């Protein structure tokens, strides 16, 4: 098949962040499929673009043998305010539509579009109509609902417009992929999506890269590289945004400042500078910030640490999501401090690979950390259990094959109609 993937946040090579489709496309390519990606020039966490994209509208790169990436213009107003963020989404609609119409060659069999942001659905729908091919709409997060929870939008009129867009895309897509069983339930019970229209390919662990990184890995040398001494290291890997509410990690670090413990925060986001300033004001020597790093380097930091943590705001909506970084911790055999309720909590409890702490309750988070410090053998047991469970249920290579098989089935059925 020839697949047109629309993913505004498709990562650069050796970039840090959520690499779901970087790995999926690798699997698809290995099965003989050809992929063209319409991606944005602005990084989702930093809101910045690399120098080579300055003053360019479209930039083509041969990502791998059969995967071509067309980087499309996105306004750098992305991280200024709500209006700037919305304008950035609109600029990508125009640039990706232009690239899809005039910078691609030949006929595609299907379009796969992944959201958020929700606005990418506009590009997918218009290209689907103009090129006369169906599109699969993937739901990585329940926009616009999550935007309200994180206070990214507070305008009722805008919220209703986005709800209308969401419903429209669900109706027009030939199929909808969801990343969690809870998303499927919400779409059926609250969004009136027919069950037969929904497929379920979750996120997962990149065991291929984790195993490559682990070969000959010198853990002590890496701990020295990042100035980890003999303390227990708790690593957070991911976005530093409003939804993560990472101030709760600082609050916990303050409670545990007399313990032999180091919190390591890896990533970028609009709240990072504020968090660093807050940590400095509180004189928190037990917290360390590291900028976003390539995925292989991120896995090495996890391997050098002792515990991985996943953190979000306290919200009923976030009870429906799997935290992407959780699967990275599992692939590296690290026990998980899960500060997200709902199905993420259910995951670590079913896998017996971590401990749940109540979000936005620093005292409870501190208590659960102390439980690990007082039961260090359990950390090893949980790490091993998580690896085994993820290998059985969330191997991204296996999921990539399942995704492409479902896509082929959908293409075949559409061609028979």
User: What would the mean pLDDT of 205-220 be, rounded to a whole number?
Assistant: 89
Task: Tell me what the pLDDT averaged over the chain comes to.
Answer: 92
**Most confident range, picked from 73-82, 208-217, 239-248:** 239-248
Specify whether 154 is located in the same domain as 56.
yes
**3-state DSSP helix/strand/coil percent for the chain, to nearest 5?**
50, 20, 35
Domain that includes residue 52, residue range:
2-204+395-416
Same domain, 268 and 318: yes
Which of the four pLDDT bands, split at 50, 70 and 90, describes residue 144? confident
152 and 183 fall within a common domain: yes
Out of 37-51, 76-90, 147-161, 345-359, which region has the weakest mean confidence (pLDDT)?
A: 147-161
Q: Is the same domain home to 195 and 280?
A: no
> Roughly how many angstroms between the first and final C-alpha of the chain, as a whole number?
18
**Count of Cβ atoms closer than 10 Å to residue 211 Cβ:** 11
Q: Mind listing the pLDDT tens digit for each residue in 322-356?
A: 988 999 999 999 999 999 999 999 999 999 999 99
Residue 36, strand partner residues:
4, 68
Give the helix/strand (H/E) hosting 377.
Answer: helix 376-393
**Torsion over CA: 203, 208, 213, 214 (sign):** positive
Task: Please indicate, yes or no, whether residues 185 and 267 belong to a single structural domain of this protein.
Answer: no
Whether 194 and 260 share a structural domain? no
276 & 409 share domain: no
Whether the per-residue pLDDT at 382 is higher than 60: the answer is yes
Instruction: Tell whether 213 and 197 lie within a shared domain.
Output: no
> pLDDT tens digits for 255-312?
999 999 999 999 998 899 999 999 999 999 999 999 989 889 999 999 999 999 999 9
| 108 and 250 share one domain | no
Q: What percent of the chain has pLDDT over 90?
A: 77
The CATH number that applies at residue 144 is 3.40.50.2000
Instruction: Look at residue 363 in the predicted model and tell me its pLDDT.
Output: 98
Give yes or no: residues 295 and 146 share one domain: no
Distance, in Å, from the CA atom of 17 to the CA atom of 12, rounded to the nearest integer, reads 10
3-state secondary structure of 257: coil
Per DSSP bridges, beta strands 336-339 and 307-311 are parallel
Read off the pLDDT band of 246 (50, 70, 90): very high
pLDDT at 20: 87
Q: What is the pLDDT of residue 415?
A: 86
Instruction: Give pLDDT, residue 123.
Output: 98
Are 212 and 69 within one domain? Answer: no
DSSP conformation letters of 97-146: HHHHHHS--S--SEEEEEESSTTHHHHHHHHHHHHT--EEEEESS-TTHH
Range in 36-50, 163-177, 236-250, 398-412 the model is least confident about: 36-50
> What is d(CA 340, CA 310) in angstroms, rounded to the nearest whole number?
7
Over range 90-104, report the average pLDDT.
Answer: 97
If pLDDT is split at 50, 70 and 90, which confidence band does 149 have? Answer: low
The predicted structure's pLDDT at residue 18:
65
Q: What is the largest CA-CA distance in the chain?
A: 67
**Residues 257 and 371 placed together within one structural domain of the fold:** yes
pLDDT, tens only, 113-136 = 999 999 999 999 999 999 999 999
Number of domains into which the chain is organized: 2
């Amino acid at each position: 098949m020839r697949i047109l993937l629309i993913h505004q946040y498709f990562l650069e090579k050796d970039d840090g962040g959520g690499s779901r489709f970087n790995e999926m496309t690798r699997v698809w390519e290995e099965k003989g499929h050809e992929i063209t990606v319409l991606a944005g020039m602005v990084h989702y966490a930093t809101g910045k673009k690399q120098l080579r994209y300055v003053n360019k509208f479209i930039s083509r790169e041969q990502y791998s043998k059969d995967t071509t990436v067309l980087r499309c213009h996105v306004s750098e107003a992305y991280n200024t305010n709500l209006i700037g963020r919305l304008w950035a989404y609109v600029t990508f609609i125009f640039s990706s539509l232009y690239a899809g119409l005039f910078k691609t060659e030949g006929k595609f069999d299907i379009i796969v579009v992944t959201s958020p942001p929700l606005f990418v659905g506009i590009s997918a729908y218009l290209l689907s109509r103009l090129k006369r091919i169906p599109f699969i709409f993937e739901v990585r997060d329940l926009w616009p609902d999550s935007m309200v929870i994180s206070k990214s939008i507070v305008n009722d009129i805008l919220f209703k417009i986005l709800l209308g867009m969401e419903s429209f895309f669900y109706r027009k897509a030939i199929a909808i992929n969801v990343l969690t069983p809870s998303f499927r339930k919400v779409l059926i019970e609250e969004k009136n999506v027919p069950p037969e229209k929904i497929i379920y390919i979750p996120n997962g662990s990149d065991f291929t890269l984790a195993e490559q990184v682990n070969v000959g890995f010198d853990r002590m040398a890496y701990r020295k590289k990042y100035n980890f001494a003999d303390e227990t290291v708790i690593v957070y890997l991911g976005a530093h945004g409003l939804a993560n509410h990472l101030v709760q990690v600082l609050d916990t670090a303050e409670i545990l400042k007399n313990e032999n413990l180091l919190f390591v925060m890896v990533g970028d986001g609009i709240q990072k500078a504020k968090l660093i300033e807050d940590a400095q004001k509180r004189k928190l020597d037990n917290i360390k910030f590291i900028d976003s790093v390539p995925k292989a380097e991120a896995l090495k930091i996890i391997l050098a640490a002792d515990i991985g943590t996943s953190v979000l705001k306290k919200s009923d909506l976030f009870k429906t999501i799997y935290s992407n970084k959780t699967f990275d911790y599992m692939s590296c055999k690290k026990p998980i401090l899960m500060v997200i309720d709902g199905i993420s909590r259910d995951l670590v409890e079913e896998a017996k690979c971590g401990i749940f702490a109540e979000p936005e309750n620093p005292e409870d988070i501190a208590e659960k950390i102390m439980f690990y410090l007082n039961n260090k053998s359990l950390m090893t047991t949980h790490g091993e259990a998580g690896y085994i469970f993820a290998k059985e249920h969330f191997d991204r290579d296996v999921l990539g094959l399942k995704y492409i098989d479902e896509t082929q089935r959908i293409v075949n059925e559409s061609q028979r109609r």
